Amino acid sequence: MASPPLAAAAAGSGVEASSGSEETGTVPPDRDLAALFEQAAERLPALLPTASKEQLLYLYARFKQMTEKRGKESKTAFGGPVVSSLYQEETIREEDKNIFDYCRENNIDYVTKAIQSKKVDVNAADEEGRALLHWACDRGHKELVTVLLQHAADVNSQDGEGQTALHYAAACEFLDIVELLLKSGANPTLRDQEGCLPEEVTDCKAITSALQQHTAGKT
């Protein structure tokens, strides 16, 4: 791509970076970037209908990186419905779908048959290292999570950024899935590449408590 989608979105929104405050004549670069990001994100819904799949994947990754960094500083969760909505807005032709598309749309029957027929490895990962279990947890598909675990999905598999299914379920605040993962052997002490535990990527007190109690029970 000639230019990153977020940069293009910011430019198309008519946003211009501040030239500086009246007092100092300068604005910290991080404030400029944060403002541009927020305004680009506001414009994003209007651009989704014309965005390609590659552009949506790029936006997903960039949004996730931005919100993860915030999560480390203030426990604002990454992932979750806001990120997932990028895919919900996309219409994919049936003949173009892959196993991850069927997982995201919670097509339990298709995913189950594909795994049982050995056409798909239950632990297969996408280009970002996300397994089917990561996606099912990200979308809150508890029944599908159960099916994947029954078919020997690696509950502690880490994606390209070191995040486990627990990170995804915790960040998206799906307490029932967090509890299911813990009962299935998920390790709450695994850190991602940013050094964050699953309990550190959520604002949900019930999830934090469940993860901490489980960890304490193992020591």
Give the residue extent of every domain in the chain.
Answer: 79-218
Q: Can you tell me the distance from the alpha carbon of 117 to that of 181, in angstroms, rounded to the nearest whole number?
A: 25
Domain 79-218 CATH superfamily: Ankyrin repeat-containing domain (1.25.40.20)
**191 CB contacts (<8 Å, ≥6 apart)?**
162, 197
Q: Can you tell me the distance from the alpha carbon of 68 to that of 207, in angstroms, rounded to the nearest whole number?
A: 18
- What is the reported pTM? 0.62
For the four alpha carbons of 62, 68, 194 and 106, in that order, the dihedral sign comes to negative
Q: Can you tell me the distance from the alpha carbon of 137 to that of 171, in angstroms, rounded to the nearest whole number?
A: 10
**20 CB contacts (<8 Å, ≥6 apart)?**
26, 27
Q: What is the pLDDT along the chain (219 residues), one digit of tens a residue?
A: 333 333 344 344 444 444 444 444 454 555 566 677 677 767 766 666 666 656 666 666 566 555 544 444 444 444 443 345 334 445 678 878 999 999 999 999 999 999 999 999 999 999 999 999 999 999 999 999 999 999 999 999 999 999 999 999 999 999 999 999 999 999 999 999 999 999 999 999 999 999 999 988 766
Q: Can you tell me the distance from the alpha carbon of 43 to that of 166, in angstroms, rounded to the nearest whole number?
A: 31
Separation of first and last alpha carbons in the chain: 49
Q: Can you tell me the distance from the alpha carbon of 79 to that of 61, in angstroms, rounded to the nearest whole number?
A: 10
Both tokens assigned to 53: 């799949």
Q: Exposure of 125 by Cβ count < 10 A (0-12 exposed, 13-18 middle, 19+ buried)?
A: middle
Instruction: Note the helical H segments in the chain.
Output: 5-12, 29-47, 53-74, 80-88, 99-104, 108-116, 132-139, 142-150, 165-171, 175-183, 205-218
Predicted local distance difference test score (pLDDT) of residue 28:
54
